[in-house]
A and B are shown apart, each in its own frame.
Chain A
Amino acid sequence: MNTLIDIKNLNLYYGTYHALKDVSLTIPEKAVTAFIGPSGCGKSTLLRTLNRMNDMIAGTKIDGRVEITGTDIYSNEVDVETLRKKVGMVFQQPNPFPKSIYDNIAYGPRLHGIRNKQKLDEIVEQSLRQAVLWEEVKDFLKRSAFSLSGGQQQRLCIARALAVNPDILLMDEATSALDPISTLKIEELVQELKDRYTIVMVTHNMHQAARVSDQTVFFLNGEVVEFSETEQLFSNPTDQRTEDYITGRFG
């Protein structure tokens, strides 16, 4: 598999707190990579470095490189907005805009200059289909996004991210607020999407990582402890700490 994201000796500080310690990692193209590890170990932080959402947090300092197809995304010539358009993100809590279902999906395309109604209709339908939500909402696209259930809202947020046609999709515990059935739907969705997108997901659910990911990264205290094929990591971990964590003997 081709490497798409190449993280080299990345360090991140929140003020004086050293949150990521010399992280080096490669993420393959068109596959699902899962980040696992105990709470506070830096999974979300690393995920946010990939679309530079950490820029928004005052007092963060970064050194090292994050290359996507060979370009360091922290170099000066990189336009952050274009980067974020290419690297979509789905958050832990569904966060639809207080607008209609249609306007939620059309928000991104409109932002990037698409005005043509027919084209927008097309994008909305296609994105909702990709997120396996179309059949459920096609008859009331004008309804408020808040009329949807939590699981539907999360799929709406996935559709919203897909609508700007990203290459990479980051998902930060996207199923942690959902019931088992919605979770399953989103897991199936991730399986389908990986043919077209590179997906990086953070999860606390080890079974989920085992079920849906191709590669798994185990973090501890801001460091990468182990990184390998998911099957290998779960069946035959090389580091004692990984084994302790996945067997629940941690701490």
Chain B
Amino acid sequence: MKQGGFGVFLTNLRELRGNFRSAYRRHGPPTTERARSQTVFNNFFQHIHATRVHPHSLRVTATWGLGVALASLFFILTATGVLLMVYYKPSTALAYDSIKDLHYIVPTGRFIRNIHRWAGHMMVVCVILHMTRVFYTAAYKSPREFNWVMGMCLLVLTFGLSFTGYLLPWDQLAYWAVTIGANIAASPNELIDALGLPPVFRVGTLQKELLLGSSSIGEDALIRFYVLHVFVLPMLVFIVIGAHVWRVRKDGGLARPGGSPTPAGKGVGTMDAVPAGPAEGPTRSFGLMCVVRDKSPAVGVNPDETVPSWPFLMRAELVVFMGVMLLCLIFGLFFDAPLKEPANPMIPENPAKAPWYFLGLQEMVSYSAFVGGILIPSIVVIGLTLIPFLDREEEECGVWFSGAQGRRVTLLSVLVGTVLAVLSVAIPVSFGWLRDWFPDIPQIVIIIFNPGSILTVFYAVYSLIILNKMRSTRMGALALFTCFLVGFAILTYVGTYLRGPNWDFYWSQSQWPIH
């Protein structure tokens, strides 16, 4: 019989809805566990999840939901950022006014801008906290080393996003914070001059020009920051987040101690070893089993220990997302993002402060721009990245502080880190530093001996002592990481609350001279 004709057409029209749905969803309605698992497995947007997860991964204390919070924040920032782009004009003459319009004229503009600003701050907080939790639960160990490295990329990119966004309003805050930032990029010159090398070696000037497209902040700098902020960096973050979350799944789900108890009193789960496949698969043709790595979720895990991702994981993700949304809404409604006077290249803000997460650096920068702004941050970033390669001890992952000994080391390190960091501020504030004692001292001496560099060396030596005494690289890493966190927190606090006009020390803002 011949197909077609008016009747068939009508039938197709009638069945359009059902047919469309089944074309889109290949497995029937996701009402059974099996159909849901199939959906998670086959759907492009969902296959970033494993089909089943271990209950340990769903515990609040395992992750504090921080990774998902970060992904949610990135999503919120993208959505609000696109809305801001509708009005924002990246030019020195118009930028400030367009932000002002957004704030005072555009319907919901202020709300959207507030959310974008606070979500950005929250993302910086969460990225630090997430790194902290991954570190303390030893979740960077094999096979997750590379995911830690990708995480470090995300950390740096997140700071980059915040910093580039900071310039866009083109107000006093923005202009002077970025002036300082750009001159930090130029600060290798300080070392080169101090060593007495000829001016050709002044790489700092090159770095600054690449960043600003000019030798001072103007139209070109604004466009560069804009392009980085709205396209280049978000795109990179998006790609790396995708790979990062994918690796979480491919590295066998979240790190967890072996034999974690299953929920609801079902007793301790077993980790029955599944016989390994052939060590090396056939090379010409192979089945899927040769491609799947042995630590993948489906292999080596007793399936009875896991729960389906749909609904358990998705529910958890939704809760975190809603929580983050709620915080953003509250902040957006009740706290306005600041907007100072328009940028004025003649009069710096006093005090001119960088965004809060750089104030610890600003504290160190106020001895030597190169050491505080480039050398120590680079050492920290490289040091953090190398952690999983320098501490390869095999131990149970997913245990906070790696047990009682680790907790003791961490506590001790909090103490040592605090004392050293406080001293590094208190001594120069009360007694001055080298230049106050020897006015003609060459800069190179200050580059080598300043509170920042001495603090760093003390932290490193302390951690090496711990490492050697405990005969454990993990304990050494715990000591160093804890010192770093405590030092970061204290210096940030000092820079934020205890430094006033002329970067002088004040116990409280009410003592600032009126000017």
- On whether the two chains bind one another, the answer is no
Chain A residues at the B interface, C-beta cutoff of 8 Å: none
Q: Hey, which bits of chain B sit against chain A, CB under 8 A?
A: none
